[in-house]
Amino acid sequence: MGTLYLTLLAILFALPVGVASAIYLVEYAHENRFVRMINSAITNLAGVPSIIHGLFGFGLFVNLLGFGTSILSGALTLFLLVLPIVISASREALLSVPRSFREGSLALGATKLGTIRHNVLPYAIPGILTGTILAVARAAGETAPIILTATFFYRPTLPSSPLDGTMSLATYIYYMATQHPNIALVRPLTYGAILVLLGIVLSLNVVAIVIRSRFRRGKKW
């Protein structure tokens, strides 16, 4: 359940912010050196090791803002981790929509916002969803960011608020494989947890592949 809580909260934060940022960069921002720097920074942030995000989240959310080891701290840390991925995927999806769709709508008197809403986003949504699902798959399998900000080795009850800590499959596997006093005894449990986590991540990737394939078959331009 902890994996589900953290991943869903992170995506709920990242999806609107990421799509709105991509729309601004593609549809409103004029191409200049500053915009190119932002695009390069987004691309580079997507490749930053997850432990860096974990240390940053630990310093900012756990210590500075005082959220402690909690679901909120972990979700915000994962939000920072997946946001560049969502922005990049959304930006590429928007750029894949032909320019003629925008020009035709504007020529008929539609506003800029109306054009984006009715003539651009509907065709970009499959690509945005594909990128979002891949971001979910990455967030679900991360250990380093949440082990510092959100999770415990063992918690006997479900969290009752976002400020409570939780357990997750990724950190459970790490602790059972490295910190348990009798690693050989709990190895079957560790392997079982690994299979469950792999199943979740693979399922999310399969969903992304199916969406992308159907979108490509349905493209008529």
What distance in Å separates the CA atoms of residue 163 and residue 150, rounded to the nearest whole number? 9
Task: Report pTM.
Answer: 0.86
What parts of the chain have a pLDDT lower than 70? 1-2, 216, 218-221
Please state the domain extents for the chain. 2-218
User: Distance between CA 132 and CA 89 in Å, rounded?
Assistant: 8
What is the C-alpha to C-alpha distance for residues 197 and 189, in angstroms, rounded to an integer?
A: 12
CA-to-CA distance for 74 and 179, rounded, in angstroms? 21
Across the chain, mean pLDDT equals 88
Give the DSSP H or E segment for 93.
helix 71-95
**What's the Cα-to-Cα distance from 196 to each of 11, 150, 187, 190, rounded to whole Å?**
21, 20, 14, 10
In the chain, DSSP finds a helix count (H) and a strand count (E) of 10, 0
141 and 170 Cβ atoms separated by less than 8 Å: yes
Q: Which amino acid is at 196?
A: V
For domain 2-218, the CATH superfamily is MetI-like (1.10.3720.10)
Q: What is the pLDDT of residues 24-65, one digit of tens each?
A: 999 999 888 888 999 999 988 888 888 899 999 999 999 999
Q: How far apart are the first and last CA of the chain?
A: 42
pLDDT for residue 1: 64
d(CA 187, CA 194): 10
State pLDDT tens for residues 77-90.
999 999 999 999 99
Whether 89 contacts 131, CB under 8 Å? yes
Question: What is the phi-psi region of residue 98: left when phi exceeds 0, alpha when psi lies from -120 to 50, beta otherwise?
Answer: beta
Of 19, 8, 17, the C-alpha closest to 129 is 19
Residue 160 tokens, joined:
């009752």
Residues forming beta bridges with residue 151, ordered by sequence position: 166
Rounded Cα gap, residues 57 and 4, in angstroms: 19
| pLDDT at 89 (0 to 100) | 92
- Give the pLDDT of residue 221: 59
The dihedral over CA atoms of 146, 44, 79, 50, expressed in degrees to the nearest 10, equals -10
